[in-house]
Chain A
């Protein structure tokens, strides 16, 4: 996967699915359970998205896994020719600025926390919808924080 493909995949998951569908469905469910709106089919979309979760979870782990591979310090060791020297220094600078090992940890933790909450959500109450929303938004924030390394020819 190139950095461009990774950015696209991240956007598809984080914006296309998590923020624009899942979180939106949770907000809608929140308003239904609180009585702010009346919508007899309002939970259908949320249940459908919850059924998609195992597949989305795999996508998300793949995204984080690709990103974490750039965090490998050995990537900064290549120095066979001047082009890879340029890449090595750029990787080291990016690793220092981005702190990818820390961001990877945060993203994986957010994924696991949301996964556990979804697995525990056998019925939807005001409390469970609220917890899901907070955890989904934490995950969205953690995934947004991952920034691909862009080095020409890398």
Chain B
């Protein structure tokens, strides 16, 4: 097929090792960023200064320059970072551009991997922005899913539903209903649904009261990991409400309910966080 116009210069590559990724990318018509092999900083400057001349960039570049690109690359650009050791699934980078990390080690990449990435990135960036990965890309791109945060939000939603109907005062019923934002009337909960022991069970822990401290430690670790912070309290939005929730969940007696205000605050914070992702 002969083309009268060319879009090929829209794909660029920089690889400070000039290794497998570089070889396959140039084989797929990527243009080499005009800097020296080890000049990561210059490559970064070129990408930011010459935004008009590229759309997709495949990069094997150091962390500092990658962060600058994540901060500075404009909307409409797609950057894929490669590494000799590959990357673990992570949160989608907060960036105007679509910034992805390839799971596969550069040494394990094949030419068809690069071809698959190009085909999808030419067409399906909208779905990747929603953290959905087309099945053909599953072993190349993946996002970390906040399963624990989601299950906590789901559980607290059901607690709000129970409280919006239940035995609490009119003011609390109203607050729970407002937090839930559900137009339909939820079903009546079974007895004991909102008790602490029931909530632990729904979070996947047994009802062994002697182990609650270890549940709190495990939950704290899992939530911190999903939020990408070392200490749960380091997260500015969810740290405090979730810590308060875990404290309330760990208090005796376990056949009583979790603190109402704490649960509502946690639910609202979780819902906002998950909606904004």
A contact set with B: CB distance below 8 Å: 7-8, 11-12, 15-16, 19-20, 23-24, 28, 36-39, 42, 76-83, 85-86, 88-90, 92-93, 95-96, 144, 150-152
Does B18 sit within 8 A of A, measured CB to CB?
Answer: no
Say yes or no: A96 contacts B183, CB within 8 Å. yes
Does B34 lie at the interface of the complex (its beta carbon under 8 Å from any beta carbon of A)? no
CB distance from A33 to the nearest CB of B (A): 14
Binding site for A on B (CB under 8 A): 1-5, 119-120, 123-124, 126-127, 132-136, 150-151, 154-155, 157-158, 161-162, 180-184, 186-190, 192-193, 198, 202
The answer to whether A16 and B184 touch (CB under 8 A), given A36-B4, A39-B1, A85-B158, is no
- Interchain CB contact under 8 A, B187 and A77: yes
Q: When A and B form their complex, what is the total count of cross-chain residue pairs whose Cβ atoms lie within 8 Å?
A: 94
Residues of chain B within 8 A of A24, CB atoms compared: 123
Q: Contacts of B188 on A, CB cut-off 8 Å?
A: 79
**Residues of chain A lying within 8 A (CB to CB) of residue B155:** 86
CA gap between A23 and B186 in the complex, in Å = 43
Contact between chains at B135 and A19 (CB < 8 Å)? no
Report the minimal beta-carbon distance from A80 to chain B, rounded to whole angstroms. Answer: 8
The answer, among B2, B5, B202, for a CB contact under 8 Å with A38, is B2
A39 to B198, CA, bound (A): 66
Q: Could you say which residues of chain A place their CB within 8 Å of the CB of B124?
A: 15, 19-20
Q: How far is the CB of A63 from chain B (nearest CB, A)?
A: 13
| A127 CA / B74 CA spacing, docked (Å) | 36
Query: Quick check: A82 and B182 within 8 Å, CB to CB?
Result: no
Closest to B127 in A: A144
Whether B119 pairs with A79 at a CB distance below 8 angstroms is no
What residue in chain B is nearest A23 (Cβ atoms)?
A: B123
Q: Given A38-B2, A96-B182, A96-B184, A90 and B157 touching (CB < 8 A)? A: yes
List, in ascending order, chain B residues with CB within 8 A of A23's CB: 123
A-B residue pairs in contact (CB < 8 Å), sample of 12: A8-B135, A12-B135, A37-B4, A38-B1, A42-B1, A79-B188, A82-B198, A82-B202, A85-B190, A85-B193, A88-B187, A92-B161
Task: Name the 7 nearest CB pairs between A and B, nearest first.
Answer: A15-B134, A79-B187, A89-B158, A11-B135, A39-B1, A89-B161, A86-B158
A90 touching B182 by the CB < 8 A rule? Answer: no
Residue of B nearest to A150 (CB): B150
| A90 touching B4, Cβ below 8 Å | no
Cβ of A42: which chain B residues have Cβ within 8 Å of it? 1
Instruction: Tell me if B202 and A15 are in contact (CB < 8 A).
Output: no
Choose one: B132, B154, B190; the contact of A79 (CB below 8 Å): B190
Question: In the complex, given contacts A36-B4, A85-B193, what are 16 additional A-B residue pairs having Cβ atoms less than 8 angstroms apart?
Answer: A8-B135, A11-B134, A20-B123, A20-B124, A36-B5, A82-B190, A82-B192, A82-B193, A82-B202, A85-B158, A85-B187, A85-B190, A90-B158, A93-B180, A95-B184, A152-B154
